[in-house]
Structure 1
Amino acid sequence: MPNLKKRYVPFTYKMMIPYLLLVLLTDVLIGYISYTMLTQSRTEMAETNIRTGMEQARNNIQYQMDEIQRMSDTLFGSVAFQRALQKKGEPLDIYLTMKDEIIPQIVSPLQLFGNNIRFMLYTPNSDMIIINGDNLEEPIKQSDYYILPLRDIESTDWYQLHKNSERNNLWVQIDTDKKLDHISHIRKLVSYSDYGAIIGYVRITVPLDALFGNLATFPVEEGITVRLIHQLTGERVYQRGPAELAEQAELGEQTGGSDAYLRLHEPISGTDFAIETLVPKAYLTKDAGKLQRVILGVCAISFIGMTFIGFMVARLNGRKMTRIVMLVRSFQEGNFQKRIRFSGNDEFVRIAEAFNMMAMNIQELIDSVYLQGIQKKQAELEALQAQINPHFLYNTLSTINSLANLGEIGKVTEMVQGLSRFYRLTLNQGNVHIHLGKELEQVETYLEIQRVKYADAFTVQVDVESEILDYQVIKLILQPFVENVFKHAWFGETIAIRITGRRMNNDVELKIIDNGVGMRPEQVRLLMTGPSQTGGYGVRNVDERIKLRYGDAYGVQIASIYGGGTTVRLLLPAGHGDAADTPEFPKLPY
């Protein structure tokens, strides 16, 4: 698989993920707690307001009931009123008695009471003058009083229920009270001389709306229901607000589910009644949506703000980390001259100082080791070069000696002159590199020396692209292979040599081709890797010098067919430049 380079992401940006999760969790937790507390506070406040309203309503009802109770107490304790109520006689006397003793004691409290009420006096005294007020089937529009015969109520259920009862001073709904939303106070009047003798009944009727007074503290338009219930029977005496909620409340009590409303209970002392308020949970939490939006907005702003702050901190630290990473990468690439500077006194400054010190130490170490390596390679290359020159010189001098023994003075002179030109090119003013054109000229000089010996027994063809003639190559890389052709490849009377050169992308390919005797594969292998033998010394020498100078990607390759000739291939990097200006080894890689 290809080695894909991963994109660098600073660690501070990675830390943003848990940081943002922590901020989000904190905002959610704070928002939830705030929402819960505010909702609970709002609920408690609403409940407190309603309870306060219930207490006010209870106090108002109790006050009015007490006032009505005092009216009946006044009549019950008035001896004059009792005597007048039991008086018998002529109609005129009865009229005057009622005018002076009965009616004033009835009218006076009616005028003092703050609300409209009906005062009814039922008497068994048949001599009493009957006084009918307004229609009892209609709601109370103004305060009025009635003096009625007891026989009018003797057939009613409520009278039959209470006449023998020991209970007195009762608040009940009788006759049309329930239909008209009234409630009545019933009291027996007994004789002061005989407590067992009933001399009449007092019934004071008051509208429940007037009894409750102002219900502004109970916003019934928002679903709150206020009602007056009888605690013993559970009967609903009066109700203000949606009837549906009351029905749901009663159904919830029967089924055991009452989560949709809050039930508040306030008993009225001294009576069998209690005020009950049903508050929908929706009313208690009516501001929850607004609170939720506000809290969400605050949490969102907080999260965005903390995200921005975290991003700025991560960006600042990320830049520093990126600079450190870039420095490390430059170290990987061999550049140890870069340094990093941070201001302040934090951990980044400490890291930068440590990196700078490490880079300086590594640079000094590399300078020392690399210089030693250069010196070693230079010594090896010079040693290999020295091996080439004496080898060729020995062969040439041996040939000159043979010609001199044969008396070929002209040929000796020609070979000595050729040898002089050859070594002038070989020395190359002490430079290791030489233009490829000069290298070919050196080969031509060597061939001229060989023509003195072999005359026209060999042919040479040079086919080198002109554009690569100015390229720099190591000197003495072609001549050893041409020399080997004469020494080892020749069989028969003639031999042909072909030298080619061409550009291959960023490389130069040189070939020395002959049609000589060729070699078997094992001979080729021994020539390149085996122990030194005749002909193998120069081949390995050239290969080692190329690899030492350019690297293992370059060097010498030999292809040969036994009986069919040999091809030597040299692969070199392409490069221009003046040989005198070209350094023998590359500088340090930074």
Structure 2
Amino acid sequence: MAETNIRTGMEQTRNNILYQMDGIQRISDTLFGSLAFQQAIQKKGDPLDIYWTMLDEIIPQMTAPLQLSGNDIRLMLYTLNSDLSIVRGDNLAEPIAQNDYYILPFGEISHSEWFRSLQATERDNIWLQIDTDSKLGNISHFRRLVSYADYKTEIGYVRITVSLEDLLGDFVAFPLEEGITLRLVDRSTGISLYHRGMAEQNASREAYLSLLEEIPGTDFVIETLVPNSYLSKDAGRLQRIIITVCAISFVVMAFIGYIVARLSGRRMSRIVSLVRSFQEGNFLKRIQFSGNDEFVQIADAFNVMASSIQKLIDSVYIEGIQKKQAELEALQAQINPHFLYNTLSTIGSLANLGETDKVTEMVQGLSRFYRLTLNQGRVCIELEKELEQVTTYLAIQRVKYADTFTVHVDVEPDILQVPVIKLILQPFVENVFKHAWFGDSIAILIKACRIGDLIELKVIDNGIGMNPHTVERLLNNSRQEGGYGVKNVDERIKLLYGDPYGIQIASIYGGGTTVRILLPAGHQDGQGGEPRQ
């Protein structure tokens, strides 16, 4: 626990250092990447022009980041331009009292040992302690400035100095009064850059727990020395806590035992309820228990048994559905050849008579008709498509009968998108031409409307009509002359939608015939799915 607390504080310190370093790095990047700043520090010529350049370009760019910084920092520019004015502020040997800046000649560092070492190792854009930094508890970020003209010519150096205490932040998370010591160590040299706490620099590591936190992107590491006395001082308090926790645990376990007994009784009641539901024929009910006890095994066994029984029931049901589907598809398949034979016969007659234009028109109409009929293998199509199919059929017949018949369509617009079983109108329109025509012309009316939750379709003609006995034979005998399509459509509707729906025929001999088709308005099986029971 003590180690976790200390490590949390070290992570906070590391994050604070990274935040402060990133801010100073941005200041350095701004000066390094400013073309105007580079041109200004390389300016030569008239002293007055250089003076105004100092005021307008160099000093504003150096003072702006100082004003935005949250900590006191010292910014120094070492210039190789001998014409540039030198700006000296406070004594560099004094601590950083406030944000200040300096413009110094390169000669002040050119002969220093630390600078020659950097040149020898070609290190740049780094953090290190130089000059009086170690004495004052500071650390500096040092960077070389190069000309944008060739990216090689050195034009100066930037040094940004900050107090290590500002860099590390506060030490609230570190109980330093308990003997904990915080250090900032440079791993490349092994030198302790900062030390705060009671332990001596050369303190024995055996008396302390040493915790390390690396600072990414640098050679620095935060080291915390925690004395063993601090780690063991709370042992008595921890012992009392353990005894209290054990006592509470005993009470909790007793309570849990009582709850488990209650839950076991409830589980048994649920299993009994499941068995009773099986007796009543409800095999959809399941029980889900968590855990791995006997109740779970009993429940799983009952669930498996119920699933097996339900699968058997579903299998029998699906077989029945598939049988009805096969019957529906067989009836559907009967319609297309029946119409095809009649149309091809007419096309053959026209061809013998040399009516090539009419033959072409009928073949094109036949192609459109079967494109709509196929419907990608679907059982149902939208009512609008069914009407388009009838219109295509009538276009084919108009080639044969010319203008000897008239057709009127009266459909409510809001039901055009309702799905209906396909090829239920065309057989009745075809029967008008085959069996109802007795004069020079005939009229056909196709109506569609919504009645409550039903869709009512009507095919009305003013043909010869039928007597009641003939109507009854049409609906009950699929082999009756002229009743092939009637019985077929009626059976397909009942297979798909159920017995309440189908065909009704009203006819008066000599007065015309009305075929009424009733369908459910809410049926959505437009993909050739299973018939609804």
TM-score normalised by L of structure 2: 0.46
Find the structure with the greater CA-based Rg: 1
TM-score normalised by L of structure 1: 0.42
